[in-house]
Structure 1
């Protein structure tokens, strides 16, 4: 009975984080559309050159250190050591405060060098503004970890919504004001970095209030130390770095692009301006990839404390079933998202960004969604069973593969080389991490029904391709929008229907998912009707 409650709690937590992440990604795509339309491809290029650095700070505060802190706190709470859990929460803040200040100094001082590597000295100002985001990270990360350690993801969810909402409003308001006043794309990029800082500050203020309302810390408790500060610091920094590397794979891939695409395209024969414009167009695929990996991101965040607790209690069957089902969901949804987006990419490109530039390249890039979804979910499982070092090692291998292929392929075949490098890099990470999970929990004993999943995706793809014949999207942006939206809706419905008809998920699996009872009942009716 307790196991069933754990399963329900896990999936409801994942559902909440998925809903929040989807909201955030919709906002992320939503504000980038007007931002690109306001500042143009060069403006979008400027923003995407500095975005990886801001993302590093945010991911450290969301998917990196909070996961480790939550694990430390959950271990103490499992033994009813409440005071020790509070003590760990304080220590984590002090440790991350020092780390955050170091990150700020490093980026601020190295901004000229980074701008030189990017072949654009005008990026120094935007990069230095972004550096301040590392000063906000410690407070956000430590408080999120405190709540997640108690399996309470609500504060994390609310802070994410607050951060993204305030950030979007601030970025658009500042950018519109600057451009209206005659500022160029680089000034708008600095303004966007400032708007991001406002969003992060709003999230910290909210978490600070929630933390002290939840249970204020007593000053006199500071004198009672149960842990050695440097011992806690070593564990947080060591394990945190390992977890963060896995969580940072996607943004570090983007950082590789920021450092290598423009120089590579110039070596390929493009002018400086042409290379920057091409990079700006290529970056249209990044927010679309982020939307496609929402579920995997949320699963990787939710699964670590649950599997960590089960691992401590030696619940091998529970760990295998949870890991296998999480990977299965990521496989099915990731494959459908990749195929669907690739098919409607031209229409989506026109709908969101006015033209269909580099649509074939962006269609290729869409398949990175599938591999990155598997990689992130598998990394979460490895972290939960104490193999964070192995997950980090595989992530680093993938990052090196991505960077190496960028350096080789972009000068040879142009921007398509960056897309190939991204897909191959994520495929390497996915293959290594999934195999490592299999070696640990014996996935071969679990019913994945992968052929049924592929068949469901083929049904969806066929339906969307047929639909496109009836909507001449090339005639206008409006028709492209209709085609893209209709394709997404029809594709989603057909995929869901095919998944139930082909019974990709068993009744037992469906019952573990939110609303699983209703879905299982509907699948049973379809089975009888067939």
Structure 2
């Protein structure tokens, strides 16, 4: 790969990563004010249907655009740039057919889906979210076209605008409908409508940027050869879905909870309204997990473009080294974030959601931050090496484990059982992924590394538990006080953990030099030593 091409590739990957990072932050943060507006039952109503939208986002962001862009880029590499028009036309036609089928399946199957979830009042929300599938072919094709031509900014901008408009629609409309006394199901329908407004705004932005360009194509559906249609269809609906499954891991876990958690609680003897509230409390874990995962994987994901570059250059030694550091980072940051949240879960729960309901369940749920960090990091690395099918198979197997885990654990332990099922399924997936990279020749970390990491976690836990003990003896209560405790704990625990990682040399100079802003990190290390 020439130097300029490599530079352009890394710049584009950085832009996409930044856009993805911002959208994930928005997606996690808005749930807090939304839950404060609608309460636990209102949050349950929204979260039951949200995973369907999450699947749409995965298809329109991680799945189809990636495949379309690859097809376009491959044609350019092989000197067949003239086929770009046919690829775009075929992609749009095929995705339009697929989007229409998915829309009809979800819209007309809304009664059956709501019945499976155990709450027929969810049907209007499911019908509303179905319209998102009609936007899918347009957004996916535009993003694929831009990414295939090394123009990553339109995709990143459209992602951020889509999420921002969606979040503002949810917050403003929900607050208005609640103030006017509408039912929580009507409020939920209004919140779900944010997916339509956000997607529409993203499409408008993409259209403007596409037609503003001087070399945009006019689609020619009937001039596309059967060979191109077949090639594009195979790529989109086999490899595209495999990439989507890998990118939708946490959404698929949520979808399983939507399908059977509420109904299992009711069948175990819990009253319907109580089960809705309990499920709503359980769903508080989602913003915690999303924020924890973003914090845990942001640095690791920055290494993925570098892994892709080394793989393209067939530089096996450098590739192995970057895979090793990515794996190491996912363990360090993931475990630190999970352990910190487990210690601070009660004050954090009160700070964000007004009370400490479900704190024990959320603590168990928080273990998934550590497991997800490993899975998401290795998934990105494997995708960078064009190994997309094995991650999808592992994740699908884990999803089945989650479904049957709920069936077994929830009747016995309630939402604690659902949290346990999530951890077990993610743990199994993580083991599969670790075995996969081991087969690639990546050396595992020594036992001494894990001993030092455990010591760092124990030291952080000691500091946080001391802080909590002091605040308990002072009888500090209330939401404001708990917010102060939680924030002070994050600062103190984060400092102690980072100091421990540096002092125990868990990341040596070579590791830090491979990271983004490596020189600055090395300077900080020298100061702290």
Distance 1:217 1:4 in 2: 24
Q: Which residue in the other structure is 1:490 paired with?
A: 492
Q: Which residue in the other structure is 2:33 paired with?
A: 34
Distance 2:41 2:116 in 1: 18
Structure 1 unaligned blocks of 5 or more: none
Q: Which residue in the other structure is 2:251 paired with?
A: 251
Cα pair distance change 1:260/1:474, threshold 3 Å: farther
Distance 2:446 2:13 in 1: 21
Deviation at 1:249, TM superposition (A): 1.7
Q: Contact between 1:300 and 1:376, CA under 8 Å: does it hold in 2?
A: no
Q: Contact between 1:151 and 1:305, CA under 8 Å: does it hold in 2?
A: no
Which stretch of the first structure deviates more once superposed, 286-295 or 232-241?
286-295
**1:194-233 matches, cutoff 5 A:** 194-219=193-218, 228-233=228-233
Q: Which residue in the other structure is 2:136 paired with?
A: 137
Distance 2:177 2:493 in 1: 40
Among candidates 522, 525, 529, match of residue 523 of structure 1: 525
SS at match of 2:355: coil
Cα pair distance change 1:505/1:95, threshold 3 Å: farther
**1:57-76 matches, cutoff 5 A:** 57-76=56-75
> What is the Cα-based RMSD across aligned positions, in Å?
2.9
Cα pair distance change 1:226/1:259, threshold 3 Å: closer
Q: Contact between 2:292 and 2:337, CA under 8 Å: does it hold in 1?
A: yes
SS at match of 1:293: helix
Cα pair distance change 1:468/1:169, threshold 3 Å: same
Deviation at 1:502, TM superposition (A): 2.4
Cα pair distance change 1:90/1:314, threshold 3 Å: farther
Count of aligned pairs between the two proteins: 526
Matched, 1:327 2:307: no
Q: CA-to-partner distance for each residue in 1:226-285, whole Å, 9 max, x for gaps?
A: 962122111221101111111122111111101111111123221111111100110000
Matched, 1:457 2:453: no
Distance 2:57 2:301 in 1: 14
Deviation at 1:57, TM superposition (A): 0.3
Cα pair distance change 1:428/1:292, threshold 3 Å: same
Q: Which residue in the other structure is 2:336 paired with?
A: 336
Q: Contact between 2:45 and 2:122, CA under 8 Å: does it hold in 1?
A: yes
Q: Which residue in the other structure is 2:398 paired with?
A: 398
Cα pair distance change 1:14/1:356, threshold 3 Å: farther
Deviation at 1:412, TM superposition (A): 1.1
Cα pair distance change 1:464/1:108, threshold 3 Å: same
Among candidates 512, 515, 521, match of residue 513 of structure 1: 515
Which stretch of the first structure deviates more once superposed, 218-227 or 314-323?
218-227
SS at match of 1:470: helix
Q: Contact between 2:64 and 2:144, CA under 8 Å: does it hold in 1?
A: yes
**1:353-368 matches, cutoff 5 A:** 353-368=353-368
Q: Which residue in the other structure is 2:375 paired with?
A: 375
Instruction: With the length of structure 2 as denominator, give the TM-score of the two structures.
Output: 0.91
Q: Contact between 2:59 and 2:241, CA under 8 Å: does it hold in 1?
A: no
Q: Which residue in the other structure is 2:87 paired with?
A: 88
Which stretch of the first structure deviates more once superposed, 98-107 or 394-403?
98-107
Distance 1:396 1:410 in 2: 21
Distance 1:22 1:235 in 2: 27
Distance 1:217 1:507 in 2: 47
**1:111-510 matches, cutoff 5 A:** 111-149=110-148, 152-219=151-218, 228-294=228-294, 307=307, 310-444=310-444, 449-472=449-472, 475-510=477-512
